[in-house]
Amino acid sequence: ANSYQVGALTGLERYRARRLPAAFCMLLTLAAIAAGAKMGGVTGAVAGLSAATAIRWYLHQRALKTECQKAGIAIFSIGIWQEAPLLYGFAIPAVLSGFLMIPGLWITNAWLVRQPHGYIQLAHYAAALTLRLMVMFVPALMNAVGLSILNNSRRGSTAGSFAAVHRLNRLALTGSTAAAALLMALVGRSLLGVFGSGFAAAGGSILWLLLASAVL
């Protein structure tokens, strides 16, 4: 639900409308999880996260409604079934893929810890995955900017401009990710040492495989 709201605000190029809810909800999420964990342990932390997410949805919905009114966009339900192909052709498959990813990760982690020295291997994997997430921050940030430019060029009338921007965006994403991954590969063993002396072993094949997957 939050994804479609942020996507709509991005498509309208209303970035200021996104900024305040994002900043407020980030602080609210941290406070709600901490307070929930203190009062109710894991259950309280989950409840705090759920409450913060609901508030985030409400703030985004208000912002989206306001920006639609400013843009003269009327939202109505007449002929709503004409949008059904978007649901079963895109939205539902996207949701299902998200639902399948988490159980898949959970099962593979469970398999890993049941191997000899499984918990040690899982710890090495988790530490290397943290560095991969740092690398993925670069393309995520650039893609947010590139998406805005793509939206703008899509509505333009210049022939071939969208394809050119799309190609440039793809090259920029791949190049920046590859550069960040290479840098991380060079300093990864030292960074992994922060977790402990035994974690430097994850700076070999585990880290390289994860960094290669980031580029792909």
173-192: per-residue pLDDT in tens?
899 899 999 999 888 888 88
Q: Is the pLDDT of residue 159 over 60?
A: no
| Across 97-105, average pLDDT | 85
**pTM for the whole thing?**
0.61
Q: Is the pLDDT of residue 166 over 90?
A: no
| Across 104-111, average pLDDT | 91
Helices (H) and strands (E) in the chain, counts: 7, 0
Instruction: Name which residue leads in pLDDT, 36 or 95.
Output: 36
Q: In this predicted structure, what is the pLDDT of residue 154?
A: 72
Instruction: Name which residue leads in pLDDT, 98 or 39.
Output: 39
| Across 168-175, average pLDDT | 88
Write 155-164 long-range contacts (CB < 8 A, 24+).
none
Q: Please, which pLDDT band fits residue 117 given cuts at 50, 70 and 90?
A: confident
Q: Is the pLDDT of residue 200 over 80?
A: no
Q: In this predicted structure, what is the pLDDT of residue 158?
A: 61
Mean pLDDT for the chain overall? 85
Q: How far, in Å, CA of 144 to CA of 139, rounded? A: 8
Query: What does the block give as tokens for 126?
Result: 């988790």
| Across 121-130, average pLDDT | 88
147 residue type, one letter: L
Cα torsion through 180, 182, 186, 191, rounded to 10: 40
Q: In this predicted structure, what is the pLDDT of residue 44?
A: 94
Q: In this predicted structure, what is the pLDDT of residue 202?
A: 64
Q: In this predicted structure, what is the pLDDT of residue 160?
A: 67
Query: What does the block give as tokens for 198?
Result: 């035994």
| Across 63-83, average pLDDT | 86
Q: In this predicted structure, what is the pLDDT of residue 35?
A: 94
Q: In this predicted structure, what is the pLDDT of residue 157?
A: 58
